[in-house]
Amino acid sequence: MTARPRIDDRQRRTRLTIRHLLDPAHRADSPEQVAEALVALHATDPATVFLSTSARLSRPEPADLERALYQDRTLLRMHGMRHTLFVVPADLAPVVYASTTRKVAEKERRGLLAFAAEGGFDTGWLAEVQRRTLAALATAGQATGSQLGELVPELRESITVAVGKPYEAKQTIGMRLLRVLGMENEIVRGRPVGGWTSGQHRWAIQGALPELPPAEAQVELTRRWLTAFGPATTEDVRWWTGWGVREVRAALAACGAVAVDLECGEGHALPDDLDPLPEPEPWAALLPALDPTPMGWQQRDWYLPAAHRTHLVDRSGNIGPTVWWDGRVVGGWAQHADGRLRWEALEPLPREATAAIDAEADLLTRRLGEVRVTPRFRTPLERRLTG
């Protein structure tokens, strides 16, 4: 019997370094190249997209990412894996939608209909409000939810949910409808109101995406993910995609993934991705909260020591700003109100590492300038550093 290929943690960190464009010798020239390399950029926190891209570009400029998102539309912001908002390459959007978002959108549409019914609004009324909303948006070109509410007053109708419970609240038809239309790719988030850290986006009409069979799309997304994040365990793939275990196993088999031995157990890699890569020189990086690299796997011991997690991860599993040295998370960072970046090591570091991390902190401080970044999900260390 032929022994299975073995890929140790050091080699996994080497692949992470090179393929996630964190080695200075492998930086990208455009935001599109960054998104392609990482498959998808977390976009729940708008600042993450810009900071994740900046950390991987040879010459980072926010205007380049704004061009890709709002002018050329080579990158699209959409709901995808695990009900999360991502920025993805335009050619990958149909794959993400067919493999993942469509099923979620169907569930959200049923929820919207039930929500409207609670307020006494039937499906015919909701369909007419949707038609008028899309027509108004097509005429306006771009508009915020508030502006659309001026154009279509029915969007401002509110319904009380969770009546009698501690979290009772009022929600508007517009908030729920625009979310569903975004998931269904009828509309897309456009340029924000304010700077690149703003979470208030204008909406625009989205062109129809090519339709793909769900199973075919899952195979393609798995192949791309393994190219960027492999080798990985079945649970890693399942966690990142949000699919059921049967869907994951079917996609792994269909894309030709082969079993490999990892230090944590059995993993999977593409058949042409078994040879080791040469190790780069040690490197330092400051990555933002929810960056795709630290958020890429469920099993994280090989790059994020368990002892560090109480400092860097919130109660919902969101990872805060991280400090990296030579392929591992070694600490965290935060931006103070006066603009200074402060970082803290969570383990002893050699002098070489401290100097390299200080240099990265100085560089990021200059890049941010007058911009202030506060992560949407605060973590213990980030709070401590800004306290």
| 298 has pLDDT over 80 | yes
Contacts of 107 (CB under 8 A, 6+ apart): none
Collapsing DSSP states into helix, strand and coil, what is residue 296?
coil
**% of the chain surpassing 90 pLDDT:** 90
Label residue 160 by pLDDT band (50, 70, 90): confident
CA 161 from chain centre, in angstroms, equals 29
DSSP class per residue in 298-309: S--TTTS-GGGH
Mean of the per-residue pLDDT values of the chain: 95
Domain boundaries, the chain: 304-386
User: b/e for 361-371, b at 16 or more Cβ within 10 A?
Assistant: beebeeebeee
| 325 has pLDDT over 80 | yes
Tokens of 147: 């502006």
| Max CA separation in the chain (angstroms) | 70
Q: What pLDDT, on a 0 to 100 scale, did the predictor assign at position 331? A: 98
| 233 has pLDDT over 80 | yes
Q: What pLDDT, on a 0 to 100 scale, did the predictor assign at position 39? A: 98
Tokens of 278: 């040469």
pTM: 0.93
Q: What pLDDT, on a 0 to 100 scale, did the predictor assign at position 66? A: 95
Helices (H) and strands (E) in the chain, counts: 15, 13
> Looking at residues 110-135, what average pLDDT do you find?
95
Contacts of 233 (CB under 8 A, 6+ apart): 262, 264, 265, 266, 267, 268, 298, 299
Under 8 Å between Cβ of 89 and 78: no
Q: What pLDDT, on a 0 to 100 scale, did the predictor assign at position 208? A: 81
